[in-house]
Amino acid sequence: MQRAGAEEAAGAQAAAGGPGRSGAEVAAAPAGRLLRRELRLLESIFHRGHERFRIGSACPDEISCEFVPGAGARAGASAARGPPPGPVRIHCNITESYPAVPPIWSVESDDPNLAAILERLVEVRKGNTLLLQHLKRIISDLCKLYNLPQHPDVEMLDQPLPAEQSTQEEVSSEEEDEEMPEDTEDLDHYEMKEEEPADGKKTEDEGIGKENLAILEKIKKNQRQDYLNGAVSGSVQATDRLMKELRDIYRSPSFKGGYYAVELVNDSLYDWNVKLLKVDEDSALHNDLQILKEKEGTDFILLNFSFKDNFPFDPPFVRVVSPVLSGGYVLGGGAICMELLTKQGWSSAYSIESVIMQISATLVKGKARVQFGANKNQYSLTRAQQSYKSLVQIHEKNGWYTPPKEDG
């Protein structure tokens, strides 16, 4: 997974997505073939008609599966007389650094028992077939949770992997990847702008449209009223900084040019919805958004920024709300895999507009695609926080991947 937003943000070349085919990636090619063999074994055992566990879809960077408790299942004694539990839908994101970096799991449920099962995966000893060992642990723990006997097929995950089966098409594809280096042109990334010095500062509201000035005035009025009512929320430092960020955005050429839009959720300065209205016109994501407009009437990516009282010293929590995406470093629940958005990679000097534009560039560079027909309920705050927590734990142990400078 890419290290995005720390050293790159401070320098002139801030990496915003996956790198080109570097020497490290070429060296990792055997790991990629090993992963494909793991996936073939999984699909052969837990096919879509399996009675207990089913692999719905599997590719080298993402897996969707479900555990089927069945009619005889009961989650503890308290549920003995209730209706049988429904399928447990589980998602897995796999980075290019696998198996050095473990898979990242999320579950379509707010049940803390299910979240605990995924958190315990850090206990699984690392190995070349870490994906299989993770799934073995997940299925075993789910059987225990629902008071079900261990399914015999689980032991098949310990068998030797099937032999490599490289078709001519796969060989051609790999050769093409090696011979056709990714575009070395600078990524459409954006240097993380730091706070400008106060010297020569323009008047506070200069360059801001009337409609947006009215929003700022409404925020001030609400803050005064909250103070009088003794219901002040947030902190002075965070409120002052967020007001400044909002003013800077309202006078920004990118904002005025329609690259993105910002709306405050319930007039809260600490909760923003950000619409990415323009992405690289040469990208597959741009084409997907045009199709989305024809189908659903929307052609933007909706992000949510949530700020805490200690902003700007801690980063905002950012997640994708809609549409459901694959690739682009978007994880289960809509969390985004960028070091920039973690305490480790964040700097209080970063402007929110730069973060917005960096995310937009990362989605394109990471080859994000709209998943038409996907279950929209799989994106939620709880699930995004769950994925983010796992992400942080993994990278605290393994560090972040920084592409060589020659890869941009």
Catalytically active residues are: 337
Query: Quick check: 275 and 300 in contact, CB under 8 A?
Result: yes
DSSP three-state, residue 57: strand
Rounded-to-integer distance, Cα 370 and Cα 347, Å: 31
Nearest CA-CA partner of 110 in 331, 318, 381, 393: 381
Checking DSSP bridges between strand 53-59 and strand 62-67, what pairing results, if any?
Answer: antiparallel
Q: What string of DSSP letters covers 330-397?
A: B-GGGBB--GGGSTTT--TT--HHHHHHHHHHHHHHTT-EE-TT--GGG--HHHHHHHHHHHHHHHHH
Using left for φ > 0, alpha for ψ between -120 and 50, and beta otherwise, residue 154 falls in alpha
Cα–Cα distance, 278 to 292 (Å, whole number): 14
Name the token pair of 8: 């790159």
CA dist 205 → 135, 175, 224, 243, 264 (Å): 56, 56, 19, 11, 19
CA 53 to chain centre: 25
Cis, peptide link before residue 83, omega less than 30° from 0: no
